[in-house]
Chains A and B, each alone.
Chain A
Amino acid sequence: MKHAYGYIVHLLCTCTLIICSVLFFVSCKKFITIPPPETQVEGIKVFENDQAAIAAVTGLYSQIMQSNLTLANGAATLYPALSADELYNTAPNVDYDGFRTNQIIADGSGLPRLWSFGYRYSYHANAVIEGLQASPVITDSLRKQLTGEMLLVRAFSHLLLVNFFGDIPLVASTSFQENEALPRTLSAIVFEKIIADLLQAKQLLSEAYPTASRSRPNKWTASSLLARAYLYTGQWALAETEASAIINSGLYSVVPVLNNVFLSNSNEAIWQISSVSQSLNTTEGNIFIPSSATTRPAFAATDQLLTAFEPNDLRKTNWLKAVTISNQPYSYPYKYKVRTGAPPYTEYNIIIRLAEIFLIRAEARTMLNNTSAALQDINIIRSRAGLPPVTAGTNAELLAAIAQERRLEFMFEWGHRWIDLKRTGAIDNVLGPVKAPNWQSTDSLYPIPKYELDTNPFLIQNPGY
């Protein structure tokens, strides 16, 4: 009897175990399968619908403007202006001091603002391009336009990076497995890729801007960046053709009043990017303009820049503002005139404008020995600045005049001065004496951030760091 009871217990026990196990294996797989989070969306879904695909593209512009003093939101203006002979910081600051004295520390806080953000833009652009490619449902015209925009942003980001760092890893997909160990690509090949991207973008984009403002690129934006890339690579004829096409499009004009050039409705702008902040219009305006008339500006124009102006150059009085604090005179950048302001914004950050196209064409034409046409182009810019026209001279004189014009027209704009000094080979002669005793010719390239070298053993630091 007792024996039988024990048997029942054993049986019961075993049954329970079996039932438990069966229940488990039936239910568990279903139990732990979860839907994607409600506040996020799977990548594949983003490209199943035109509106969502547009949001993926505008998302990139929003990301570009999300943090102040990042690559295309102030950093590409401020840091090279300090490295060249345009600006100085008026109070000690470890980050700015490094750039100003050309003693950049590879693990400083400024470099990642340039490098990391450039690649973040590329990733986003690549993700959209891949998404659009894989999606069967996006309207064809929209697919073209969005792909064009993303190719253009990718090229733009590479163009900034290659100018500051020299050879850079060239990233063309979102796969981290492919990208994590990429070494640096020769800058000549990077330029080829930039030009290829821009040519494709030019083909895909239409002449009309996608929205009412010029805050998203059109075909001419691709052309203008192409013109810039051709200029940087010495492809003069191509540069001239692109520049002429933009000028002849009739869409743009040189704004006669200097103080109106950087407004959000500027007709000179080929591509501008609008703020997403609730309190400021442009990072440039925000960091350059001091908070009150008695406050010392954080950054001021160097003596070299101030003495470079010809007399009566309107740009000196309109695009710089002089103040005296504690008996010390300062001139601070004043192209953007709004320090703070909630939307609607009156100023957008101009990435590329018609004045540059004229000066690109002038330089290309000089190189192609078309001096008279070059002179016309220079003088358009000079006359707006209230300066008398330059007259014919040797090619070298003309190039010097163009360099001078570019220096003043594009002061504190996207590192033009720094990049121009480098590409024309004048950098050692110009900055050597100014930045003595710290200047070394290897300073013309910024160091790759230390973190990048640490995480990618295939990256080799620029010489001199």
Chain B
Amino acid sequence: MKPTICILAMLCPILSMCQPKPITGQVLNQDNEPIPAATVTLISNKQSTITNNNGIFALNRVEEAGIPSHDSRLLTLDSITISAIGYETVTIAVTQLQTSNSKPQTIILPRKITALDEALIIAYGTTTKRFSTGSVAKLSASEIEKQPVSNPLSTLSGRIPGVIVTQGSGVTGSTVNVQIRGRTSLDLALSKNDPLFIIDGVPFESGNTPVNQLTSAANNPVPTNNSPVSGISPFNTINPQDIESIEVLKDADATAIYGSRGANGVILITTRRGKAGKTKFAISSYTGFSSITRSPSMLSTEQYLQMRREAFANDGNTPTNSTAPDLLLWDTTQYTDFKKKFIGNTGQSSDINASVSGGNAFTRFSIGAGYHRETNVFPGTHSDTRASLRLNIFHTPASKKWDIHLVTIYASEKNRLFRTDLTRHIILPPHLQLFTSAGKYNWQQNGINFSTLGFTNPLAEMERTYNSLNQNLSSNLIINYKITAALVLRVNMGYNTFNTTEQSNTPRTAIAPDNSTLASSLFATSTRSNWIIEPQAEYNAKLAKGKLELLLGTTFQQRNANGMNAAGTGYTNDLLLASLSAAASITASNTFELYKYNALFGRITYNWQQKYLFNFSARRDGSSRFGPGRQFANFGALGLGWIFTTEPWMQNQNILSYGKLRTSYGITGNDQVGDYKYLDLWTNTSNPYQGIPGFRPLALFNPDYNWEKNKKWEAALELAFFNDKLSVSTAYYQHRSSNQLVSYRLPNQTGFATVVKNLPALVQNSGWEFTLQSMLTKKKGLHWKSSFNLTIPSNKLIAFPGLAGSSYNSLYTVGKSLSVVTALKFLGVDPSTGIYTYQDLNNDGALNAADLQNLGHLDPRWYAGWSNTIEFQQWQFDIFCEYRNQRGRNYLATLYNYKPGFLYNQPDFVLNRWYKPGMNSVIQKFTTANSTPAGQAGNRISASDAPYSDASFIRIKNIALAYNFSSTLAEKLKIEAARFFIQAQNFFTITNYKGSDPETQNFLQLPPLKTIVMGCQFTL
């Protein structure tokens, strides 16, 4: 929209002989609001003045030698420039101000469009960084499309301050956890603090909860205490290439309008829309390879045997057939590098996307289709494939009285995996033979069944297939109707359905011959759907010298979930495992959930002269997840902003182009406790007893739990320098979560291990977030854009009345982080005895609960991301680094039970062990049993701080190099644009971490993959 500059001047009559009259006028913005403190300069003599509060200026032209002030000839040649912060500078000839009319003059300055003015999508509307009173961060398509990942959440990793993204596992399709501004949940295994995800206005049905009911290789094979739930991510059904932007809403101002669902932050995903103009056809494709990022090497057979023999010698035992079949009965000349065999292969990814978009002022459309296929680093060709489609149509009649906007995305993802992550088997003794001499799966070696040693044959294990088909359909229709220019009625109607069909077969070949279990198959389906209707009214008005926006709306939302689970057992052969009716016996169960949600919400936004910003939002929520009498609660927030660079006293400088102070405070909530938890429910038992079907109590119930409240406060300073070329922002936040809803851990004497309950605990997450962005343009087409973000978080349990008497006593300490390590202090290996020692705090000669100490925490100390984009002529180079400074779980956290010397292989750093008195070593002497002194010392490892060590890392998360065809070349080829690119994800990691990968921190789980792809993109 081009600004129309209407000019009517009022000057004193040119040829007047009286005192020269000043040049006057009124400076307004596009909304016809006066711009105070704008600088008005006469070009000829640099004489200047500023506008008053009404935007009015008067410039008295000073006489210069020889030039009479009334010299009409000269005056008509002269011009004035008008500049104001945040506006384009306008130059006007003085003569243009001439008019016969006696009314005051208006000059309209168009607003300057910089990065600060890009649209930011927020709850039920849009804003800009300039006028936002809340904390909203944005990741745009240009940053997303450079990352060759299948899960859109991965693209956020390291790029947004205050947000930690952790990949659960390297297995294709596995979950990616997102945590906004720290952990509030006291039980991570039950509530991950998942944000609310909204895709094109519709809440994403599955959230970030794994969608699989059956166990797959994407699940954590060895869940540790407090490890988040992992599995197949629902976000694999969202094509990252379809996304136009991802907005992360963090503070109360931005999230309180989501009321009970906003406590953990909100992530808004918006898909690409059509733009008016020529119809564009774009196609892009890439292909590439993946391998694991990092994993330590394991002992060779020789080293392994030496370890075992040394362990027996240390224990003073002679190996026997039953204690050491690996030394005495097995062929000790064999060696297989199981790490290489199981997870050392190369995966492939390929991706193709095509889209058509275009339209005019009245109708715009965008249609896209994509296909993505990824294989893994396991042996064989297990693949994760996604086909996706999207449609985006907008129409408004010529009157623009109403408009309609339809967005639909659909994807079908097929994940072919197997039941358990093979990484957990890399600790098998390296001379174990997986095949018999006849080439069949081996299940015993010299009469010792693998099962008696607790082993399986991992390759046979892979025959236990896992296949899932996930389908996601999300559609949203928005209709706006303008009753008047000021009042718009809107209705937003959305529907999202997520269907999962899973099948997992265990053929007889996957079962040891000594195990009499017959082949079996598991089947699971789930259908979950979610509809939402949100009628809204929006009213815009001018009030005094400001702009008022009122929003009022209500939400009706309903979620239905149905699941079916069937197991077919007793297949006598493997031919018809996919047929449920071919099973000798079938057990089946189904589930049903209903959730209804209703809300009334409103927002008042007031912008006074683009100087003072006020934003109040409120919501009253009703949820079926609470018992009678507790279904409703109120939430709300207030945000204030002050753009001080618009103040008159800031006008006489040209360094600071933008400066804003903002603060917000509000209350959000959380109702993610599952449905029906307030009801005393019974369900059927899995099996009848003596032919009579049985009932069992489902769980403990608690009719009295109430809403969880999360109070958020934030203050921020945002600055931009040198015409917004450099921007800096600093935010301090403090979120306090109280009355937390948890699955409260109970002793089993209550019959169950958990109950849904409110905890009186008060958890505080506070921290500093810094961002720095710079844009440098040199001549010869060199552009350098750099962006850096840093977060220094802090997590603290402020209060917990009754902690000492609660089941959380052993986990948390008031005043410390929720990830506090309360453990025995590990003192390393005693050089004289060669076994681990721990600090006996009270010197009573025994190590017990009284010797536990608070030994630091596992929260990130700080984390940062640094992205650089360098453009030079036709070339574009991107590099993004992620830093995390943290302490984490090392290999001992997963391997402590498999002590060096036991019948399991070990990472090669165990060779640094004690073997003769007086020596200093990191690892204690090898042992074969838990009952030896070394074994007993080793048992205490898990209760000590030894499994925690530095897990900081610097990761070159993404590198992208692209070559764009010059416009002349493109023209010759009769195409709009073309580019070739190479992209790499998880390219390189620098860390001292002891274990596999410092991000996943689980030795027995597949580390994230490094992917390198190349491809091209054409626009016709």
Residue positions of A touching B, CB distance < 8 A? 9, 12-13, 16-17, 20-21, 23-25, 27-29, 31-44, 46, 52, 54-63, 65-66, 90-94, 97-98, 101, 103, 105, 107, 112, 115-116, 119-120, 122-124, 126-127, 169, 171, 174, 176, 179-182, 211, 213, 215-216, 274, 276-279, 290-292, 294-296, 298, 325-326, 328, 339-340, 342, 438, 449, 451-459
Q: Is the CB of A454 within 8 A of B809?
A: yes
A37 adjacent to B675 (CB under 8 Å): yes
Structural contact, A16 and B749, CB atoms closer than 8 A = no
Given A56-B682, A124-B697: A180 and B689 within 8 A (CB)? Answer: no
- Given A12-B487, A37-B676, A90-B322, A457–B689 Cβ distance below 8 Å? no
B539, CB-defined interface residue at 8 Å: yes
| Binary A-proximity of B589-619 (CB < 8 A = 1, otherwise 0) | 1111111111010000000000000000000
What is the chain B residue whose CB lies nearest that of A100? B931
11 A-B pairs with CB atoms under 8 Å apart are A17-B552, A37-B675, A37-B676, A59-B694, A62-B689, A90-B322, A92-B928, A213-B690, A278-B584, A342-B585, A456-B747
The 7 closest A-B pairs by CB, nearest first: A123-B751, A59-B694, A455-B807, A291-B514, A91-B452, A276-B687, A43-B680
* Chain B residues near A52 (CB-CB < 8 A): 695
Q: Could you tell me if B554 and A456 are in contact, using CB atoms closer than 8 angstroms?
A: no
Asked if A179 contacts B749 (CB within 8 A), the reply is yes
Verify if B74 is at the interface (C-beta below 8 Å from A). no
Question: A283: shortest Cβ distance to chain B, in Å?
Answer: 13
CB neighbours (8 Å) of B676 from chain A are: 36-37, 40
Q: Interface code B496-516, partner A: CB below 8 Å = 1, 0 otherwise?
A: 000000000000000001111
B930 in the interface (beta carbon within 8 A): yes
> Min CB distance, A116 to chain B, in Å?
4
Bound: A257/B694 CA distance, A = 35
Complex formed: what's the CA distance from A404 to B809 in Å? 47
Within the complex, the shortest CB–CB distance from B841 to chain A, in Å, comes to 18
Interface presence of B129 (CB below 8 A):
no
Q: Decide if A452 touches B537 in the complex (CB within 8 Å).
A: no
A279, closest chain B residue (CB): B517
Cβ-neighbour of A61 out of B484, B489, B689, B930 (below 8 A): B689
Chain A residues near B539: list those with CB within 8 A: 13
Given contacts A34-B594, A58-B694, A92-B902, contact A119 B750 (CB under 8 A): yes
In the complex, what distance in Å separates the CA atom of A438 from the CA atom of B591? 50
A276 and B749 form a contact (CB under 8 A)? no
Cβ of B651 within 8 Å of any chain A Cβ, yes or no, is no
Given contacts A34-B596, A276-B689, A342-B585, contact A97 B931 (CB under 8 A): yes
Residue pair A65, B695 in contact (C-beta under 8 Å):
no
Whether A24 touches B695, Cβ cut-off 8 Å, given contacts A274-B689, A455-B807, is no
Flag whether B772 is at the interface (Cβ < 8 A): no
**CB <8 Å contact, B931 and A295:** no
Assembly CA distance A274 to B689 (angstroms): 8
Q: Are A63 and B514 in contact (CB under 8 A)?
A: no
Binds A, one of B443-451, B636-644, B879-887: B443-451
Residues in A with CB closer than 8 Å to B513 are 291-292
Is B753 an interface position by the 8 A CB rule? Answer: yes
Nearest B-chain residue to A9, judged by Cβ: B484
Give A99 Cβ to nearest chain B Cβ, in Å.
11
B592 near A105: Cβ-Cβ < 8 Å: no
Which residues of chain B are near A12, meaning CB under 8 Å?
483-484, 487
Which of A25, A55, A169, A290 contacts B749 (CB under 8 A)? A169
- Minimum Cβ distance to chain A for residue B353 (Å): 41
A91 to B483 Cα, complex, angstroms: 81
Give 1 or 0 for each of B793-808: 1 = CB within 8 Å of chain A CB.
0000000000011110
Task: Tell whether B15 is near chain A: CB-to-CB under 8 Å.
Answer: no
A305: min CB distance to chain B, Å:
17
Report chain B residues within 8 Å CB of A456.
747, 749, 807
Q: How many whole Å from B694's CB to the nearest CB in chain A?
A: 3
Expressed in whole angstroms, the Cα–Cα distance for A457 and B805 within the complex equals 6
Given A32-B622, A449-B748, A455-B807, 15 additional A-B pairs, CB 8 A = A13-B550, A34-B596, A37-B593, A37-B594, A40-B698, A90-B322, A92-B903, A101-B930, A119-B749, A124-B696, A174-B751, A295-B447, A326-B321, A454-B809, A454-B810
Across the interface, which residues of A come within 8 angstroms of B749, CB to CB?
Answer: 119, 169, 171, 179-180, 182, 452, 456
Shortest Cβ distance from B687 into A: residue? A276
Q: Is the CB of A60 within 8 A of B452?
A: no
Q: How many angstroms from the CA of A43 to the CA of B697 in the assembled complex?
A: 8
Would you call B694 and A63 a contact (CB within 8 A)? yes
Complex-state Cα separation, A303 to B682, whole angstroms: 49
Q: Does B688 contact A (CB under 8 A)?
A: yes
Query: Which residues of the other chain, A, contact B680 by a CB distance below 8 angstroms?
Result: 42-44
Among B554, B622, B755, contact of A176 (Cβ-Cβ < 8 Å)? B755
Whole-angstrom distance from the CB of A342 to the nearest CB of chain B?
A: 7
Q: Cβ of B855 < 8 Å from any Cβ of A? A: no
Decide if B987 is an interface residue (CB 8 Å cutoff).
no
**Given the complex of chains A and B, what is the CA–CA distance between A377 and B487 in angstroms?**
97
- Interface of chain B residues 686 through 728 with chain A (CB within 8 A): 686-690, 692-698, 700, 702
What CA separation (Å) do A39 and B594 show in the bound complex? 11
* Distance between A153 CB and nearest chain B CB, rounded to angstroms: 12
- CB closest chain-B residue, reference A37: B592
Tell me which residues across on chain B come within 8 A of A103, comparing CB atoms: 930-931, 936
CA distance A101 to B750 in the complex (A): 31
Chain B residues in 8 Å Cβ range of A56: 682, 694-696
Chain A residues positioned under 8 Å from B600 (CB to CB): 20-21, 24-25, 28
A111 to B759, CA, bound (A): 29
**Residues from chain A with Cβ under 8 Å of B584 in the complex:** 278, 342
A356 to B686, CA, bound (A): 33
Query: In the complex, which residues of chain A have a beta carbon less than 8 angstroms from the beta carbon of B593?
Result: 37
Q: Whose C-beta in chain B lies nearest to the C-beta of A121?
A: B751
- Chain B residues whose CB sits within 8 angstroms of the CB of A115 once the complex forms: 748
Residues on A with beta carbons closer than 8 Å to the beta carbon of B696: 56, 59-60, 62-63, 124
A39 to B623, CA, bound (A): 21
Q: Is the CB of B694 within 8 A of A180?
A: no
Q: Which residues B540-595 have CB closer than 8 A to chain A?
A: 550, 552-554, 556, 569-570, 584-585, 587, 589-595
B930 and A438 within 8 A (CB): no
**Which residue of chain B has the shortest Cβ distance to A452 in the bound complex?**
B747
Also in contact, A457 and B751, with CB within 8 A (given A59-B689, A276-B688): no
Cα A176 to Cα B585 in complex, Å, equals 38
Q: Please name the residue on chain A nearest to B696 by beta carbon.
A: A59
Bound CA span A147–B797, Å: 46
Instruction: Give 1 or 0 for each of B929-949: 1 = CB within 8 Å of chain A CB.
Output: 111000010010010000000
CB atoms of A55 and B695 under 8 A apart: yes
Instruction: Return chain B residues, CB-CB under 8 Å to A458.
Output: 805
Verify B570–A279 contact, CB threshold 8 A: yes
Contact check, B515 vs A291: say whether CB atoms are below 8 A apart: yes
Question: Given A31-B556, A339-B516, do A93 and B454 touch, yes or no (CB 8 Å)?
Answer: yes
**Closest Cβ–Cβ distance, residue B635 to chain A (whole Å):** 15
CB pair B746–A176 under 8 Å, yes or no, is yes
Compute how far the CA of A97 lies from the CA of B517 in the bound complex, rounded to whole angstroms: 26
State whether B447 touches A294 (Cβ < 8 A). Answer: yes
Min C-beta distance of A433 to chain B, whole Å: 17
How many whole Å from A83's CB to the nearest CB in chain B? 13
Interface presence of B839 (CB below 8 A) = no
Any A CB within 8 A of the CB of B21: no
Most chain A CB atoms below 10 A, which of B513, B683, B930: B930
Q: Is B631 an interface residue (CB 8 A)?
A: yes
A63 and B685 form a contact (CB under 8 A): yes
Output the nearest chain B residue to A174 by Cβ-Cβ distance. B751
In the assembled complex, which residues on chain A have CB atoms less than 8 Å from the CB atom of B587? 278
Known: A12-B483, A94-B897. A31 touches B751 (CB 8 A): no
With A24-B598, A42-B680 already in contact, the answer to whether A29 and B622 are too (CB < 8 A) is: yes
Q: Are A39 and B552 within 8 A (Cβ)?
A: no
| B801, chain A: closest CB distance, angstroms | 14
Judge whether A40 and B681 touch: CB under 8 Å.
Answer: yes
Residue of A nearest to B597 (CB): A32
Q: Are A61 and B694 in contact (CB under 8 A)?
A: yes
